[in-house]
Amino acid sequence: MTGRDLSDREAQQFGWEVVRQLFVLLRIARLHGANNEAWGPALTKVQWAVNESEGINLRALDGAFYVSDVRLKVDRENYAAQEGLLKAYQSHGVGAVEIDVAFDPAHLKALLTAWGSSKPPTPEQGLELLSGSLGEYQLIRLSKAMQRTAAVEKDARNVSKAIYIRTLNAVEDVMESVKINQAFPLKRAKRVMQRLVDNLLGDPVNLLGLTNLRCYDEYTYHHSVNVCVLSLSVGRRLGLPRPMLANLGIASLFHDLGKSRVPVEVLNKAGEFDEAEWDMIRRHPVYGVKTIVQLKGADELASRVVTGSFEHHMNFDHSGYPKLPRPRTLSLYGRVISMCDCYDAMTSARVYNRTPATPERALKLMLGKSGKAFDSVLMKVFVNTVGIFPVGTLLLLDSGEIGVVFQASEDPTQGDRPYVRMITDVKGRELSQPVDISLTETTAGGRFARNITRILDPKEVSLDVAEFFL
Ligand SMILES: [Fe+2]
Ligand SMILES: [Fe+2]
């Protein structure tokens, strides 16, 4: 086998470098062919990573890359490269590319030029073609893909993932352009929302799972998308018609728009806020309103965003901020968004040293405020949406297995028996391929096959829950 044993960190570092650069090279091959000076720098970077790892074997399996049996954890920056290279592997029927230390960059170039050519060979032809030249490429070896990869590639999870990431990018662009005082790209926001709503109505499970993707470096963007997915899921349970869902979606996606006027140093401060900083933070709902009102071409939709921004910290009983001289009932959007906002904020690590609450702990704290800070009827809907054991909750089962909740049970009387993605076997060994089960499954004797022993804190078992939704 190629390569030394890499630590997880090394595998991530070198593995991603190779994925990113191969993707860059593939694009160069497609756009410019073999004769272009752009090849040099990327080839050098591949060489560096291959040298550091003493040879590398980049395997594709079920929509992810593996190096030294370590799964490369995807984030937003690497997402495009991963998907692009996976597609290239897939269309050439390749399961792994193994590169030895002494490989000749010219051979890698020849291989990628073949992949990038305008008439790509069929998978069968491709393998034959390349294995035909194995003599020449002996320091770069290809192995055949397992049939499974191609099928799983297209599955629903990947569609949701792409939509989630596209929404994330849209939020970033909108907030950045608002920051430099450009107009609010409302058309783009509407387009993204259309896709999100379509996906959510067709297949709500995957998107809810993705709200476990939390990243403190880009807290505000992830938080915005998560609050939006949660709000839309609540809206769906409430049976809101599609146009209302789209409005609720936009309002929730930009509820924290006013934060673009709060300095980043304040937003990302690790310690406690002082009074002046609190003052600034407390102003973000009003900043959001001002931002939208000042924009050119503010229409009806913009007024929805205004409401979401203005009301999301106000609380049902008006105990929050901003204070109104004459309190009036919060709008439905405001009430939904404030619940989802609170839940996501509690379960996320806003700064790197802050420990987030587990989903069920957050839910318990919020239930304590039902009828006060939160509308009690909507709070019930919220619990039904995320489940008594919310999506992302890590469970130890009486079988000894560990799993993560990925969907609430459809049957309200079985609310305590969600769908679980199994992570380990009965002996606590991590499964190479997660298996989905329902806790309502029964044995031949009619008893439940598995029961929940207790909720685990991800820290206890050093697991990153988000990984199982990617
Ligand atoms: Fe906020
Ligand atoms: Fe928020």
Determine the pLDDT at residue 1.
52
Backbone angles phi, psi at 272, to 5 degrees: -70, 150
Which pLDDT band, with edges at 50, 70 and 90, does 369 fall under?
A: very high
Ligand nearest to C-alpha 346: 2
Q: What value does the mean pLDDT take over residues 383-393?
A: 85
Distance 326 CA to ligand 2 centre (A): 24
Distance 224 CA to ligand 2 centre (A): 7
Distance 439 CA to ligand 1 centre (A): 36
Secondary-structure breakdown of the chain: helix, strand, coil percentages, each rounded to the nearest 5: 55, 10, 35
Which pLDDT band, with edges at 50, 70 and 90, does 2 fall under?
A: low
Distance 226 CA to ligand 1 centre (A): 13
Strand 94-99 to 140-144 pairing: antiparallel
Distance 239 CA to ligand 2 centre (A): 24
Ligand nearest to C-alpha 288: 1
Cα angle at 49 between 45 and 54, to 5 degrees?
140
Which pLDDT band, with edges at 50, 70 and 90, does 123 fall under?
A: low
Distance 141 CA to ligand 1 centre (A): 52
Which pLDDT band, with edges at 50, 70 and 90, does 402 fall under?
A: very high
d(CA 60, CA 74): 13
Backbone angles phi, psi at 346, to 5 degrees: -70, -35
Which pLDDT band, with edges at 50, 70 and 90, does 351 fall under?
A: low
The answer to whether the CB of 315 falls within 8 A of the CB of 338 is: yes
Q: Where in the chain is the domain with CATH 1.10.3210.10?
A: 156-385
CATH domain 156-385 topology: Hypothetical protein af1432 (1.10.3210)
Percentage of the chain beyond pLDDT 90 is 29
Q: Which of 178-192, 227-241, 405-419 has the highest mean pLDDT?
A: 227-241
Average predicted confidence (pLDDT) for the chain? 83
Strand 402-407 to 394-397 pairing: antiparallel
For tokens 């004797």, what's the residue? 445
Adjacent-strand bridge partners of 394: 404, 456
pLDDT digits (tens, 9 = 90+) for 215-230: 666 788 889 999 999 9
Which pLDDT band, with edges at 50, 70 and 90, does 20 fall under?
A: very high
Flag whether pLDDT at 253 surpasses 80. yes
The answer to whether the CB of 419 falls within 8 A of the CB of 409 is: yes
Distance 392 CA to ligand 2 centre (A): 20
Distance 284 CA to ligand 2 centre (A): 10
| 334 three-state secondary structure | helix
Distance 198 CA to ligand 1 centre (A): 26
Determine the pLDDT at residue 413.
79
Ligand nearest to C-alpha 258: 1
Q: What value does the mean pLDDT take over residues 126-148?
A: 54
Distance 422 CA to ligand 1 centre (A): 35
- In single-letter form, the type of residue at position 192 comes to V
| 280 three-state secondary structure | helix
Flag whether pLDDT at 150 surpasses 50. no
Which pLDDT band, with edges at 50, 70 and 90, does 149 fall under?
A: very low
Distance 340 CA to ligand 2 centre (A): 9
Flag whether pLDDT at 154 surpasses 70. no
pLDDT digits (tens, 9 = 90+) for 429-452: 888 777 888 999 998 888 999 999
Tokens of 231: 């709000």
Q: What value does the mean pLDDT take over residues 9-32?
A: 89
